[in-house]
Amino acid sequence: MTTLVTGAAGFVALATIEALLARGDTVVAFDRAPIPAEARAAFARLPGRMVEVGGDVRSAADLARAFAAAPVDRVLHAAVITAGPARERSDPETVVAVNVQGALAVFRAALAGGVARLVAPSSVSVYGAPPPGTIAFGEDETWPRPSSLYAITKLATEQMLVRLGAVHGLSVATPRIGSAYGPWERETGVRDTLSPHRAAFLAARRGGLALLNRPTRGDHVYVRDAAAGLIALLDAPSLDRSVFNLGSGVATDVAEFCRALARRVPGFRWRAAGPDETPTVVTHVPFDRVAMDIRRIRDATGFRPRFADLDQAVEDWLASTASA
Ligand SMILES: NC(=O)c1ccc[n+]([C@@H]2O[C@H](COP(=O)([O-])OP(=O)(O)OC[C@H]3O[C@@H](n4cnc5c(N)ncnc54)[C@H](O)[C@@H]3O)[C@@H](O)[C@H]2O)c1
Protein backbone atom coordinates (compact mmCIF):
# COMPACT_ATOMS: atom_id res chain seq x y z
CA MET A 1 0.00 0.00 0.00
CA THR A 2 1.46 3.36 -1.00
CA THR A 3 0.40 6.60 0.67
CA LEU A 4 1.39 10.02 -0.58
CA VAL A 5 1.75 12.30 2.44
CA THR A 6 1.93 16.07 1.98
CA GLY A 7 3.41 18.19 4.75
CA ALA A 8 5.51 15.09 5.42
CA ALA A 9 8.14 16.96 7.45
CA GLY A 10 5.52 18.20 9.93
CA PHE A 11 4.38 16.94 13.30
CA VAL A 12 1.23 14.93 12.56
CA ALA A 13 2.62 13.63 9.25
CA LEU A 14 5.87 12.34 10.79
CA ALA A 15 3.95 10.41 13.45
CA THR A 16 1.70 8.93 10.76
CA ILE A 17 4.56 8.09 8.40
CA GLU A 18 6.35 6.34 11.26
CA ALA A 19 3.29 4.14 11.89
CA LEU A 20 2.84 3.39 8.17
CA LEU A 21 6.50 2.44 7.75
CA ALA A 22 6.37 0.34 10.92
CA ARG A 23 3.82 -1.94 9.28
CA GLY A 24 5.76 -2.16 6.01
CA ASP A 25 3.89 0.36 3.82
CA THR A 26 5.46 2.61 1.21
CA VAL A 27 5.23 6.37 1.72
CA VAL A 28 5.87 9.15 -0.77
CA ALA A 29 6.87 11.97 1.57
CA PHE A 30 6.14 15.36 -0.01
CA ASP A 31 7.06 18.67 1.62
CA ARG A 32 8.82 21.86 0.71
CA ALA A 33 11.08 21.26 3.72
CA PRO A 34 13.30 18.18 4.07
CA ILE A 35 12.41 15.36 6.44
CA PRO A 36 14.40 16.02 9.64
CA ALA A 37 17.61 13.98 9.74
CA GLU A 38 16.64 12.33 13.03
CA ALA A 39 13.34 11.13 11.58
CA ARG A 40 15.01 9.92 8.40
CA ALA A 41 17.46 7.87 10.45
CA ALA A 42 14.71 6.40 12.66
CA PHE A 43 12.49 5.60 9.69
CA ALA A 44 15.32 3.83 7.85
CA ARG A 45 15.24 1.18 10.58
CA LEU A 46 11.57 0.39 9.88
CA PRO A 47 10.39 -2.25 7.38
CA GLY A 48 8.55 0.15 5.05
CA ARG A 49 10.04 2.34 2.34
CA MET A 50 9.98 6.14 2.19
CA VAL A 51 10.54 8.09 -1.01
CA GLU A 52 11.12 11.81 -0.45
CA VAL A 53 9.94 14.37 -2.99
CA GLY A 54 10.50 18.08 -2.42
CA GLY A 55 7.87 20.53 -3.61
CA ASP A 56 5.08 22.97 -2.90
CA VAL A 57 1.43 21.88 -2.60
CA ARG A 58 0.38 24.94 -4.58
CA SER A 59 2.27 23.63 -7.64
CA ALA A 60 0.53 21.12 -9.92
CA ALA A 61 3.90 20.31 -11.49
CA ASP A 62 5.49 19.53 -8.10
CA LEU A 63 2.54 17.32 -7.17
CA ALA A 64 2.76 15.50 -10.52
CA ARG A 65 6.42 14.68 -9.73
CA ALA A 66 5.32 13.21 -6.40
CA PHE A 67 2.68 11.04 -8.08
CA ALA A 68 5.30 9.88 -10.60
CA ALA A 69 7.62 8.70 -7.80
CA ALA A 70 5.52 5.57 -7.10
CA PRO A 71 2.02 4.24 -7.88
CA VAL A 72 -0.01 6.05 -5.21
CA ASP A 73 -3.05 4.31 -3.65
CA ARG A 74 -4.21 7.06 -1.31
CA VAL A 75 -3.31 10.54 -0.10
CA LEU A 76 -2.90 12.10 3.34
CA HIS A 77 -2.83 15.87 2.89
CA ALA A 78 -1.17 17.38 5.97
CA ALA A 79 0.62 20.45 4.55
CA VAL A 80 -0.63 23.56 6.29
CA ILE A 81 0.22 26.93 7.72
CA THR A 82 -0.99 27.23 11.32
CA ALA A 83 -1.01 30.99 11.65
CA GLY A 84 -1.02 32.83 14.94
CA PRO A 85 -2.32 36.40 15.25
CA ALA A 86 0.89 38.04 13.94
CA ARG A 87 0.90 35.99 10.73
CA GLU A 88 -2.85 36.52 10.28
CA ARG A 89 -2.12 40.24 10.25
CA SER A 90 1.04 40.19 8.13
CA ASP A 91 0.44 37.48 5.53
CA PRO A 92 -3.15 36.21 5.24
CA GLU A 93 -2.58 35.72 1.48
CA THR A 94 -0.08 32.88 2.00
CA VAL A 95 -2.18 31.27 4.73
CA VAL A 96 -5.21 31.12 2.44
CA ALA A 97 -3.16 30.14 -0.62
CA VAL A 98 -1.49 27.19 1.10
CA ASN A 99 -4.40 26.02 3.24
CA VAL A 100 -7.24 26.39 0.76
CA GLN A 101 -5.77 26.56 -2.74
CA GLY A 102 -3.03 24.08 -1.82
CA ALA A 103 -5.73 21.62 -0.74
CA LEU A 104 -7.53 22.19 -4.03
CA ALA A 105 -4.33 21.47 -5.97
CA VAL A 106 -3.85 18.27 -3.95
CA PHE A 107 -7.48 17.28 -4.63
CA ARG A 108 -6.94 17.74 -8.39
CA ALA A 109 -3.71 15.74 -8.28
CA ALA A 110 -5.39 12.97 -6.26
CA LEU A 111 -8.23 12.85 -8.78
CA ALA A 112 -5.83 12.71 -11.73
CA GLY A 113 -3.82 10.04 -9.91
CA GLY A 114 -6.92 7.86 -9.50
CA VAL A 115 -6.45 7.32 -5.77
CA ALA A 116 -9.01 5.47 -3.69
CA ARG A 117 -9.15 8.00 -0.84
CA LEU A 118 -8.04 11.47 0.19
CA VAL A 119 -7.74 12.08 3.93
CA ALA A 120 -7.30 15.78 4.65
CA PRO A 121 -7.08 16.59 8.37
CA SER A 122 -9.30 19.36 9.63
CA SER A 123 -9.16 20.65 13.20
CA VAL A 124 -11.09 20.93 16.44
CA SER A 125 -10.52 24.67 16.01
CA VAL A 126 -13.39 24.77 13.49
CA TYR A 127 -15.78 24.53 16.46
CA GLY A 128 -14.48 27.68 18.12
CA ALA A 129 -15.55 28.30 21.70
CA PRO A 130 -18.20 25.82 22.89
CA PRO A 131 -21.63 27.37 23.33
CA PRO A 132 -22.72 27.38 27.00
CA GLY A 133 -24.00 23.98 28.08
CA THR A 134 -22.04 22.01 25.45
CA ILE A 135 -20.81 18.74 26.95
CA ALA A 136 -18.95 17.46 23.89
CA PHE A 137 -18.41 18.68 20.33
CA GLY A 138 -20.55 16.60 17.94
CA GLU A 139 -20.02 16.60 14.17
CA ASP A 140 -23.70 17.29 13.49
CA GLU A 141 -24.78 18.70 16.84
CA THR A 142 -22.26 21.54 17.23
CA TRP A 143 -22.42 24.38 14.75
CA PRO A 144 -18.85 25.37 13.70
CA ARG A 145 -17.86 28.87 14.78
CA PRO A 146 -14.17 29.21 13.84
CA SER A 147 -12.54 32.30 15.30
CA SER A 148 -9.00 32.36 13.80
CA LEU A 149 -7.97 32.62 10.15
CA TYR A 150 -6.36 29.18 10.47
CA ALA A 151 -9.64 27.69 11.71
CA ILE A 152 -11.62 29.53 9.03
CA THR A 153 -9.37 28.08 6.31
CA LYS A 154 -9.71 24.60 7.85
CA LEU A 155 -13.51 24.80 7.77
CA ALA A 156 -13.54 26.22 4.23
CA THR A 157 -11.15 23.50 3.04
CA GLU A 158 -13.14 20.78 4.75
CA GLN A 159 -16.38 21.89 3.11
CA MET A 160 -14.70 22.43 -0.26
CA LEU A 161 -13.18 18.94 -0.30
CA VAL A 162 -16.37 17.25 0.85
CA ARG A 163 -18.30 18.97 -1.94
CA LEU A 164 -15.71 18.26 -4.64
CA GLY A 165 -15.38 14.68 -3.45
CA ALA A 166 -19.13 14.24 -3.94
CA VAL A 167 -19.08 15.96 -7.32
CA HIS A 168 -16.21 13.82 -8.63
CA GLY A 169 -16.92 10.57 -6.80
CA LEU A 170 -13.65 10.64 -4.83
CA SER A 171 -13.82 9.30 -1.27
CA VAL A 172 -12.78 12.15 1.05
CA ALA A 173 -12.38 12.15 4.84
CA THR A 174 -11.75 15.34 6.81
CA PRO A 175 -11.05 14.32 10.42
CA ARG A 176 -11.18 17.18 12.91
CA ILE A 177 -8.08 16.45 14.97
CA GLY A 178 -7.94 17.60 18.59
CA SER A 179 -4.99 19.58 19.97
CA ALA A 180 -2.13 17.18 19.34
CA TYR A 181 0.97 16.58 21.46
CA GLY A 182 3.74 13.99 21.52
CA PRO A 183 6.79 12.79 19.59
CA TRP A 184 8.08 14.60 16.48
CA GLU A 185 6.54 17.97 17.32
CA ARG A 186 9.05 20.66 16.42
CA GLU A 187 9.42 24.14 14.99
CA THR A 188 8.50 23.95 11.29
CA GLY A 189 8.49 27.69 10.75
CA VAL A 190 4.84 27.51 9.68
CA ARG A 191 3.19 26.67 12.99
CA ASP A 192 2.93 29.59 15.35
CA THR A 193 1.06 27.64 18.02
CA LEU A 194 3.30 24.85 19.28
CA SER A 195 1.69 22.80 22.01
CA PRO A 196 2.16 23.70 25.68
CA HIS A 197 2.75 19.98 26.26
CA ARG A 198 5.97 20.15 24.23
CA ALA A 199 7.28 23.08 26.26
CA ALA A 200 6.46 21.24 29.51
CA PHE A 201 8.04 18.01 28.21
CA LEU A 202 11.25 19.81 27.23
CA ALA A 203 11.37 21.57 30.61
CA ALA A 204 10.95 18.21 32.35
CA ARG A 205 13.78 16.65 30.35
CA ARG A 206 16.04 19.61 31.08
CA GLY A 207 15.14 19.39 34.76
CA GLY A 208 13.85 22.95 34.69
CA LEU A 209 10.87 24.77 36.09
CA ALA A 210 7.77 25.18 33.89
CA LEU A 211 5.63 28.31 34.31
CA LEU A 212 2.10 27.98 32.89
CA ASN A 213 0.05 30.87 31.54
CA ARG A 214 -3.37 29.24 31.70
CA PRO A 215 -4.02 25.50 31.89
CA THR A 216 -6.61 25.58 29.04
CA ARG A 217 -8.94 22.61 28.91
CA GLY A 218 -9.70 20.78 25.70
CA ASP A 219 -9.51 17.54 23.73
CA HIS A 220 -5.73 17.07 23.78
CA VAL A 221 -4.87 14.02 21.70
CA TYR A 222 -1.60 12.10 21.81
CA VAL A 223 -0.21 12.27 18.28
CA ARG A 224 0.18 8.50 17.99
CA ASP A 225 -3.58 8.21 18.54
CA ALA A 226 -4.20 10.89 15.93
CA ALA A 227 -1.93 8.97 13.52
CA ALA A 228 -3.81 5.71 14.23
CA GLY A 229 -7.11 7.45 13.48
CA LEU A 230 -5.79 8.89 10.22
CA ILE A 231 -4.56 5.45 9.16
CA ALA A 232 -7.89 3.90 10.12
CA LEU A 233 -9.60 6.39 7.79
CA LEU A 234 -7.08 5.73 5.00
CA ASP A 235 -7.64 1.97 5.39
CA ALA A 236 -11.44 1.85 5.77
CA PRO A 237 -12.81 0.00 2.73
CA SER A 238 -15.74 2.42 2.48
CA LEU A 239 -16.92 5.49 4.35
CA ASP A 240 -20.42 6.86 4.20
CA ARG A 241 -19.39 10.14 5.86
CA SER A 242 -16.56 12.61 5.40
CA VAL A 243 -16.52 14.67 8.59
CA PHE A 244 -15.18 12.93 11.71
CA ASN A 245 -13.98 14.02 15.11
CA LEU A 246 -10.55 12.54 15.85
CA GLY A 247 -9.54 13.15 19.43
CA SER A 248 -8.96 11.46 22.74
CA GLY A 249 -12.65 11.72 23.52
CA VAL A 250 -11.91 13.32 26.89
CA ALA A 251 -11.14 16.86 28.03
CA THR A 252 -7.90 17.38 29.93
CA ASP A 253 -5.96 20.49 30.85
CA VAL A 254 -2.28 21.31 30.73
CA ALA A 255 -1.93 21.27 34.52
CA GLU A 256 -3.16 17.66 34.54
CA PHE A 257 -0.56 16.85 31.90
CA CYS A 258 2.16 18.48 34.03
CA ARG A 259 1.04 16.41 37.01
CA ALA A 260 1.32 13.22 34.93
CA LEU A 261 4.76 14.33 33.74
CA ALA A 262 5.87 15.04 37.32
CA ARG A 263 4.78 11.52 38.36
CA ARG A 264 7.20 10.06 35.79
CA VAL A 265 10.04 12.60 35.83
CA PRO A 266 11.43 13.09 39.32
CA GLY A 267 12.47 16.66 39.90
CA PHE A 268 10.16 18.19 37.29
CA ARG A 269 8.67 21.33 38.81
CA TRP A 270 5.84 23.43 37.44
CA ARG A 271 3.39 26.07 38.64
CA ALA A 272 1.25 28.90 37.36
CA ALA A 273 3.29 31.93 36.30
CA GLY A 274 2.98 34.86 38.67
CA PRO A 275 1.76 38.28 37.43
CA ASP A 276 5.35 39.52 36.92
CA GLU A 277 6.73 36.31 35.44
CA THR A 278 7.02 35.30 31.76
CA PRO A 279 5.27 31.97 31.22
CA THR A 280 7.37 29.25 29.59
CA VAL A 281 4.45 26.89 28.89
CA VAL A 282 1.98 28.84 26.81
CA THR A 283 -1.45 27.78 25.59
CA HIS A 284 -2.64 29.69 22.55
CA VAL A 285 -6.35 29.01 22.92
CA PRO A 286 -7.87 31.79 25.02
CA PHE A 287 -10.92 29.72 26.07
CA ASP A 288 -11.64 26.24 27.35
CA ARG A 289 -12.97 23.64 24.98
CA VAL A 290 -14.87 20.43 25.65
CA ALA A 291 -14.10 16.85 24.64
CA MET A 292 -14.93 15.67 21.15
CA ASP A 293 -17.52 12.96 20.69
CA ILE A 294 -15.54 10.29 18.81
CA ARG A 295 -18.27 7.68 18.35
CA ARG A 296 -18.59 8.32 14.62
CA ILE A 297 -14.97 7.44 13.78
CA ARG A 298 -15.13 4.50 16.20
CA ASP A 299 -18.24 3.12 14.52
CA ALA A 300 -16.89 3.71 11.00
CA THR A 301 -13.36 2.35 11.50
CA GLY A 302 -13.03 0.67 14.89
CA PHE A 303 -10.64 3.44 16.03
CA ARG A 304 -10.16 3.74 19.79
CA PRO A 305 -7.52 5.99 21.37
CA ARG A 306 -4.85 4.01 23.22
CA PHE A 307 -3.39 6.97 25.06
CA ALA A 308 -6.38 8.91 26.36
CA ASP A 309 -4.93 8.30 29.81
CA LEU A 310 -2.27 11.00 30.35
CA ASP A 311 0.07 8.70 32.32
CA GLN A 312 0.18 6.25 29.43
CA ALA A 313 0.83 9.03 26.94
CA VAL A 314 3.65 10.45 29.05
CA GLU A 315 5.20 7.01 29.49
CA ASP A 316 5.09 6.33 25.75
CA TRP A 317 6.51 9.74 24.91
CA LEU A 318 9.39 9.37 27.36
CA ALA A 319 10.16 5.92 25.92
CA SER A 320 10.01 7.09 22.30
CA THR A 321 13.21 7.76 20.43
CA ALA A 322 11.68 10.76 18.66
CA SER A 323 12.73 14.13 19.95
CA ALA A 324 10.20 16.65 21.13
N1 LIG B 1 -0.79 19.93 15.48
C2 LIG B 1 -2.05 19.94 15.89
O3 LIG B 1 -2.32 20.04 17.10
C4 LIG B 1 -3.20 19.82 14.91
C5 LIG B 1 -4.49 19.87 15.42
C6 LIG B 1 -5.57 19.77 14.54
C7 LIG B 1 -5.33 19.59 13.19
N8 LIG B 1 -4.07 19.55 12.71
C9 LIG B 1 -3.89 19.38 11.26
O10 LIG B 1 -2.91 18.39 11.01
C11 LIG B 1 -2.24 18.70 9.77
C12 LIG B 1 -0.75 18.80 10.02
O13 LIG B 1 -0.47 19.86 10.95
P14 LIG B 1 0.86 19.90 11.82
O15 LIG B 1 0.48 20.40 13.15
O16 LIG B 1 1.56 18.61 11.71
O17 LIG B 1 1.68 21.05 11.10
P18 LIG B 1 3.24 21.27 11.00
O19 LIG B 1 3.48 22.76 10.96
O20 LIG B 1 4.02 20.51 12.00
O21 LIG B 1 3.58 20.68 9.56
C22 LIG B 1 3.13 21.28 8.39
C23 LIG B 1 4.05 20.88 7.26
O24 LIG B 1 3.52 21.43 6.04
C25 LIG B 1 4.62 21.87 5.26
N26 LIG B 1 4.16 22.88 4.32
C27 LIG B 1 3.67 24.11 4.62
N28 LIG B 1 3.39 24.78 3.50
C29 LIG B 1 3.70 23.95 2.47
C30 LIG B 1 3.63 24.07 1.05
N31 LIG B 1 3.20 25.20 0.47
N32 LIG B 1 4.01 23.03 0.29
C33 LIG B 1 4.48 21.88 0.87
N34 LIG B 1 4.57 21.72 2.20
C35 LIG B 1 4.20 22.74 2.98
C36 LIG B 1 5.62 22.41 6.26
O37 LIG B 1 6.93 22.46 5.71
C38 LIG B 1 5.46 21.42 7.43
O39 LIG B 1 6.42 20.38 7.34
C40 LIG B 1 -2.87 20.00 9.28
O41 LIG B 1 -3.94 19.70 8.40
C42 LIG B 1 -3.41 20.62 10.55
O43 LIG B 1 -4.45 21.54 10.29
C44 LIG B 1 -2.97 19.66 13.54
pTM value > 0.95: yes
* End-to-end Cα separation, the chain, in angstroms: 29
Provide the residue count of the chain: 324
Segment 158-179 mean pLDDT: 98
Any idea which of 84-93, 202-211, 233-242 has the lowest mean pLDDT?
202-211
Residue 323 is predicted with a pLDDT of 54
% of residues, the chain, pLDDT over 90: 94
Coil, helix or strand at residue 148 = coil
Segment 224-241 mean pLDDT: 98
Domain residue ranges in the chain: 2-187+220-250+293-308
Q: Does the beta carbon of 179 lie inside 6 Å of ligand 1?
A: yes
Q: Does the beta carbon of 78 lie inside 6 Å of ligand 1?
A: yes
At position 6, the amino acid (one-letter code) is T
Segment 291-301 mean pLDDT: 98
Q: Which atom of ligand 1 is nearest to the CA of 8?
A: 39
- Find the DSSP H helices in 24-120: 37-44, 60-68, 85-90, 92-96, 102-112
State which H helix or E strand residue 15 sits in: helix 11-22
Half-sphere exposure of 283 (CA within 13 A, CB side): 24
* Ligand 1 centroid distance, CA of 80 (Å): 4
Q: Does the beta carbon of 252 lie inside 6 Å of ligand 1?
A: no
Please say if the pLDDT value at position 324 is more than 80.
no
Q: How confident is the model at residue 208 (pLDDT cuts 50, 70, 90)?
A: confident
* Ligand 1 centroid distance, CA of 269 (Å): 31
**From CA 194, how far away is CA 289, in angstroms rounded?**
17
**From CA 124, how far away is CA 121, in angstroms rounded?**
10
Q: How confident is the model at residue 243 (pLDDT cuts 50, 70, 90)?
A: very high
Please state, rounded to an integer, the average pLDDT across all residues of the chain.
96
Residue 284 is predicted with a pLDDT of 86
* Ligand 1 centroid distance, CA of 135 (Å): 28
Residue 192 is predicted with a pLDDT of 87
Beta bridge pairs of residue 246 = 177
Coil, helix or strand at residue 69 = coil
Q: Which atom of ligand 1 is nearest to the CA of 97?
A: 31
Backbone angles phi, psi at 312, to 5 degrees: -70, -40
Residue 112 is predicted with a pLDDT of 98
Q: Does the beta carbon of 10 lie inside 6 Å of ligand 1?
A: yes
Angle at the Cα of 282 from the Cα atoms of 42 and 228, rounded to 5 degrees = 40
Helices 310-319 and 254-264: angle between axes, nearest 10 degrees: 50
Fold of 2-187+220-250+293-308: Rossmann fold (3.40.50)
* Ligand 1 centroid distance, CA of 191 (Å): 7
Residue 189 is predicted with a pLDDT of 87
Residue nearest to atom 9 of ligand 1 (CA): 121
Q: Does the beta carbon of 155 lie inside 6 Å of ligand 1?
A: no
